[in-house]
């Protein structure tokens, strides 16, 4: 009996009475197979759609469930994944991948006929799953109050999710079978891969059954496979990863031949929702290949990193699906316990341009969607800039018809843009559409290739790699094209520019400047002489290493990518020569394509902008020392920090980055000497309105009137208390330390002698009068006998005179 059967009635009652619920059940509990099949068979829902994050798992679950019905996939159990759709009018349970569910929602926001949505393995938290769930929740709230949503995982961050979605949790306790844990400490972390073959052999010697070995990627899989060539004849080694063809994947998943043992080397494609018969040993490297997005370069790089504890639990669970098992973990138990509980969600570490475009198509802003984690402002800014370069949104950030078409294409939006453009140009540029198919096949196959894309494509055209051939056949079939007799590579730079407009680059020193403003470095095998290159593949350290590209001339792109080119007049002050540079320029993003002296006279607006650019470069150090204005800036910064509900954000970095507040005051400044002497106080003050200026003077005054009648200056600092230096006799009669910013900023009182030398520092004047003052009084009476040193200073009259003149 499967564990999920024990809680089935409770779960059924919960999802019948709640719009949403969470199911937390261990690997092998039956949540991905027995549960949806039973819900379908018992007719509790008319049409169920279950999302699986991985194509391999989706296909195998659909085949397994169909076999339980004695049917083929496409009858009562259907399947929708990229390039494969098997559904019919008889389908009542569909297994779909994440992108497919998003397309279903975009095409039919009501999800007509569907009354249960299941998100399996939700802990993986891909952007596509987060997107589909956010849309489904809006559908449920606005259009379909009869739609039920069920989130499922073995390792959900249950309490957080339950609180965020305001829904109940149902938990299934215990595994189907127990799993023993063996930890293998590492002598050298940097050489962890070298230890894997020996651990596999150790596990096979110590345990019965077949083994599943988790490795980060294909490179590590192939290396370990070679190291296992000396295994006993009864041990067969298989590989399993996402880019394999179906036949190879099915061979890896199939039960071992009678009398044989299997060793399956896999990526985390086998981490969830997949059962391989006979597996009772898991060897876990504790590593995975994860996408790491570089905001500066706009490049997503696959890096090897340690998995979280929840992922490790998922992997170990593969060993206990059929019988008791054992997991061998690379590293000590102490190292394992120091890992993060959960992997960081993709939405915080990835390019969100597709999500942003999906939201615009949906008709909502990211802020309006129910997202468990919200992307940063920098992610949104970067994605918005890219979508404009891809013509998916206009200058007003509105979705364009081309943007909608790119989404409906069902591919990466960069590649969709390239294909749509290439198809339109096929009439005037024969062969460009076929070339686009070859280029996509090359990029998606991820095979090793020469740095020059021309050479790489011609090499694959002549002698194709099996993975490239598989990808090419898929795209030729999908685009209804025939294999090209000759590749029209003269259009290659234009195609790369369609897909990667932000990676058009101009030579700069030993590297290149990208159109998005980032820098790029050349790999050792790359050419060094082309002035301009269109980069199709880059990554490496900081995402800035060029791996593959093609040379181009900017004029070749202007007809088809005119929106990337802008004409402008640049005016800057050259500090070396002490003169203004006034140039007419053509820009390709951040790249200057051409520049010549401007034919127009220098006007005040251009000169003002030059001064603003200079201020943005140097900040307030540009001006001569201005103590009063520096104190004003400090007071305004403190006000915005301590009382944000009453004052706008003001600080040096913000004012430097957004310098337009200075513009109205700089139009008559003609040289650098004038600029340095400029009194910026009035401009600074006007960053607050009249009411805020009045409130500033009240809450954080520049001066404080003390009981003697003197108006004493307060010195403010960004870190630490404000300071008031005043002679002690002038604050007699003051019973407590004055409050600043409604008591949110402490005031440090420096009490001085008649000769203005420090006597005492205190933030609690009342306590000082009652305690330490007695010692000060004794000493001061002897040193300054003509001055007034009362026994009760808190009630005495303040003075700024000597005793004889009182």
Rounded mean pLDDT of 43-64? Answer: 91
CB atoms within 10 A of CB 538: 26
Question: Angle 127-142/353-362 helices, nearest 10 degrees?
Answer: 10
Q: Which residue has the tokens 């894997």?
A: 196
Nearest to 106 by CA among 353, 359, 383, 375: 359
Please name each of the domains of the chain with its CATH number.
Answer: 3-171 (3.40.50.300), 179-343 (3.40.50.300), 619-698 (no CATH), 701-805 (no CATH)
Asked whether the beta carbons of 168 and 13 are under 8 A apart, the reply is no
Map residue 419 onto helix, strand or coil. Answer: helix
Map residue 799 onto helix, strand or coil. Answer: coil
Rounded mean pLDDT of 20-35? Answer: 86
Kindly report the average pLDDT of the chain as a whole number. 90
Output the pLDDT for position 414: 95
Instruction: Give tens-digit pLDDT for 186-212.
Output: 888 888 999 999 999 999 999 988 899
Rounded mean pLDDT of 328-332? Answer: 92
Output the pLDDT for position 274: 67
Nearest to 223 by CA among 203, 200, 202: 200
Triad 353, 354, 359: Cα angle to 5°: 100
Reply yes or no on whether the pLDDT at 93 is more than 80.
yes
Reply yes or no on whether the pLDDT at 158 is more than 80.
no
At residue 271 the predicted structure's pLDDT band, cuts being 50, 70 and 90, is low
Rounded mean pLDDT of 421-438? Answer: 96
Reply yes or no on whether the pLDDT at 496 is more than 90.
yes
Q: Which residue has the tokens 């980069």?
A: 535
Dihedral angle over CA of 133, 138, 144, 148, nearest 10? 30
For every residue of 124-149, which 3-state class applies, written as one string? HCCHHHHHHHHHHHHHHHHCCCCCEE
The whole-angstrom separation of Cα 486 and Cα 461 is 9
The whole-angstrom separation of Cα 25 and Cα 4 is 7
Q: 486 burial class (0-12, 13-18, 19+ CB within 10 angstroms)?
A: exposed
CB atoms within 10 A of CB 148: 22
Nearest to 552 by CA among 521, 596, 512, 524: 512
Nearest to 383 by CA among 402, 405, 366, 404: 366
Residue 79, CA distances (Å) to 64, 107, 771 in order: 12, 18, 82
Could you tell me which residues come within 8 angstroms of residue 531 by beta carbon, excluding any fewer than 6 positions away?
Answer: 506, 507
Nearest to 799 by CA among 712, 727, 713: 727
Rounded mean pLDDT of 631-658? Answer: 94
Would you give the DSSP letter of residue 252?
A: H
The whole-angstrom separation of Cα 291 and Cα 15 is 35
Task: Note the helical H segments in 623-772.
Answer: 627-642, 652-657, 672-677, 681-685, 690-699, 765-770
Q: 608 burial class (0-12, 13-18, 19+ CB within 10 angstroms)?
A: buried
The whole-angstrom separation of Cα 622 and Cα 619 is 6
Residues 289, 291, 296, 298, CA torsion sign: positive
At residue 108 the predicted structure's pLDDT band, cuts being 50, 70 and 90, is very high
Map residue 43 onto helix, strand or coil. Answer: coil
Q: Which residue has the tokens 């003052």?
A: 773
Residues 269, 273, 276, 282, CA torsion sign: positive
CA contacts within 13 A on the Cβ side of 264: 32
Please name the helix (run of DSSP H) or strand (run of DSSP E) that holds residue 240, with its range, or none. Answer: strand 235-240
Instruction: Give tens-digit pLDDT for 543-599.
Output: 788 889 999 999 999 999 999 999 988 888 888 888 888 888 899 999 999 989 888
Nearest to 307 by CA among 334, 275, 278, 329: 329
At residue 476 the predicted structure's pLDDT band, cuts being 50, 70 and 90, is very high
Strand ranges of the sheet holding 591-597, from the earlier edge strand across to the other edge: 565-574, 579-588, 591-597
CB atoms within 10 A of CB 767: 13
Q: Which residue has the tokens 């992307």?
A: 375
Nearest to 691 by CA among 683, 682, 699: 699
CB atoms within 10 A of CB 669: 17
The whole-angstrom separation of Cα 726 and Cα 735 is 15
Task: Note the helical H segments in 680-757.
Answer: 681-685, 690-699
**Two structure tokens written together for 292:** 């790491």
Q: Which of 296-300, 465-469, 722-726, 792-796 bottoms out in mean pLDDT, i.e. has the lowest? A: 296-300
At residue 123 the predicted structure's pLDDT band, cuts being 50, 70 and 90, is confident
Map residue 532 onto helix, strand or coil. Answer: strand
The partner residues of 150 in beta bridges, in order of sequence, read: 21, 118
Beta strands in 425-524 (DSSP E): 504-508, 511-514, 519-522
What distance lies between CA 91 and its chain's CA centroid?
A: 37
The whole-angstrom separation of Cα 344 and Cα 498 is 31
For every residue of 180-193, which 3-state class applies, written as one string? EEEEECCCCHHHHH
Output the pLDDT for position 174: 57
Could you tell me which residues come within 8 angstroms of residue 760 by beta carbon, excluding any fewer than 6 positions away?
Answer: 728, 750, 751, 768, 772, 776
Reply yes or no on whether the pLDDT at 804 is more than 60.
no
How many residues does this entry show for the chain?
Answer: 806
Residues 376, 378, 380, 386, CA torsion sign: negative
Reply yes or no on whether the pLDDT at 49 is more than 90.
yes
Report the relative pairing of strands 579-588 and 591-597 from DSSP bridges: antiparallel
Q: Which of 227-241, 264-278, 743-757 bottoms out in mean pLDDT, i.e. has the lowest? A: 264-278
């Amino acid at each position: 009996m499967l564990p999920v059967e024990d809680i089935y009635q409770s779960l059924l009652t919960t999802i019948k009475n709640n719009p949403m619920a969470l199911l937390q059940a261990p690997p092998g509990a039956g949540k991905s197979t027995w549960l949806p099949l039973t819900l379908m068979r018992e007719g509790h829902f008319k049409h169920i759609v279950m999302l699986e994050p991985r194509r391999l798992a989706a296909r195998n679950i659909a085949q397994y469930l169909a076999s339980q019905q004695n049917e083929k996939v496409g009858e009562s159990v259907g399947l929708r994944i990229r390039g494969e759709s098997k559904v019919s009018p008889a389908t009542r349970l569909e297994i779909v991948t994440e992108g497919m569910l998003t397309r279903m929602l975009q095409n039919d926001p009501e999800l007509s006929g569907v009354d249960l949505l299941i998100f399996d393995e939700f802990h993986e938290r891909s952007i596509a799953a987060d997107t589909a769930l956010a849309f489904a929740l809006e559908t449920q709230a606005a259009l379909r109050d009869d739609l039920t949503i069920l989130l499922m995982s073995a390792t959900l961050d249950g309490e957080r999710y339950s609180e965020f979605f305001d829904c109940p949790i149902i938990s299934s306790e215990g595994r189907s079978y127990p799993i023993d844990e063996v930890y293998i400490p590492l002598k050298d972390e940097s050489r962890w891969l070298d230890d894997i073959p020996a651990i596999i052999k150790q596990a096979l010697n110590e345990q019965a059954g077949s083994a599943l070995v988790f490795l980060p990627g294909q490179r590590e899989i192939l290396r370990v496979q070679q190291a296992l060539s000396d295994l006993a004849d009864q041990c067969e080694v298989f590989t399993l990863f996402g880019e394999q063809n179906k036949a190879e994947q099915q061979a890896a998943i199939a039960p071992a031949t009678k009398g044989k043992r299997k060793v399956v080397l896999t990526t985390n494609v086998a981490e969830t929702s997949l059962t391989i018969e006979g597996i009772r040993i898991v060897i876990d490297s504790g590593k995975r290949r994860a996408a790491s997005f570089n905001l500066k370069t706009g490049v997503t790089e696959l890096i090897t990193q340690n998995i979280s504890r929840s992922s490790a639990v998922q992997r170990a669970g593969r060993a206990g699906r059929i019988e008791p098992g054992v997991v061998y973990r690379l590293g000590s138990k102490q190292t394992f316990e120091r890992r993060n509980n959960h992997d960081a969600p993709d939405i915080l570490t990835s390019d969100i341009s597709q999500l942003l475009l999906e939201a615009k198509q949906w008709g909502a802003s990211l802020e309006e969607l129910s997202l468990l984690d919200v992307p940063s402002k920098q992610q949104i800014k970067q994605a918005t800039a890219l979508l404009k370069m891809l013509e998916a949104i206009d200058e007003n950030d509105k979705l364009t018809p081309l943007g909608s078409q790119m989404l409906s294409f069902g591919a990466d939006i960069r590649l969709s843009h390239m294909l749509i453009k290439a198809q339109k140009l096929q009439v005037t540029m024969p062969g460009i559409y076929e070339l686009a198919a070859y280029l996509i096949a090359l990029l998606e196959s991820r095979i090793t290739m020469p740095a020059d894309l021309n050479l790489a494509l011609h090499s694959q055209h002549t002698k194709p790699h099996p993975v490239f051939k598989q990808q090419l056949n898929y795209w030729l079939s999908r685009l209804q094209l025939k294999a090209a007799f000759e590749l029209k590579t003269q259009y290659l730079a234009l195609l790369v520019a369609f897909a990667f407009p932000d990676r058009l680059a101009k030579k700069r020193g030993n590297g290149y400047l990208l159109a998005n403003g980032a820098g790029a470095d050349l790999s050792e095998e790359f050419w060094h002489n082309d002035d301009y290159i269109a980069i199709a593949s880059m990554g490496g350290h900081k995402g800035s290493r060029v791996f593959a590209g093609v040379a181009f001339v900017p004029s070749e792109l202007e007809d088809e990518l005119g929106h990337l080119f802008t004409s402008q007049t640049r005016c800057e002050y050259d500090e070396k020569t002490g003169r203004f540079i006034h140039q007419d320029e053509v820009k390709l993003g951040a790249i200057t394509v051409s520049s010549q002296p401007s034919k127009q006279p220098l006007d005040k607006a251009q000169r003002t902008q030059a001064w603003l650019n200079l201020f943005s470069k140097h900040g307030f150090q540009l001006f001569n020392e201005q103590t009063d204005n520096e104190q004003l800036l400090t007071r305004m910064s403190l006000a915005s920090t301590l009382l944000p509900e009453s004052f706008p954000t003001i600080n040096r970095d913000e004012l430097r980055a957004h310098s337009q507040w200075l513009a109205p005051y700089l139009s008559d400044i003609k040289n650098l000497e004038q600029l340095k002497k400029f009194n910026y106080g009035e401009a600074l003050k006007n960053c607050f309105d009249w009411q805020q200026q009045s409130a500033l003077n009240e809450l954080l005054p520049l001066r404080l009137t003390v009981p003697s009648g003197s108006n004493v200056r307060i010195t403010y600092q960004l870190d630490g208390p404000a300071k008031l230096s005043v002679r002690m006799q002038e604050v007699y009669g003051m019973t407590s330390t004055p409050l600043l910013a409604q008591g949110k900023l402490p005031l440090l009182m420096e009490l001085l002698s008649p000769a203005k030398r420090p006597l005492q520092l205190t933030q609690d004047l009342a306590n000082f009068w009652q305690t330490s003052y007695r010692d000060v009084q004794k000493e001061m009476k002897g040193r300054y006998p003509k001055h007034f040193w009362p026994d009760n200073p808190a009630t005495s009259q303040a003075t700024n005179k000597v005793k004889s003149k009182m």
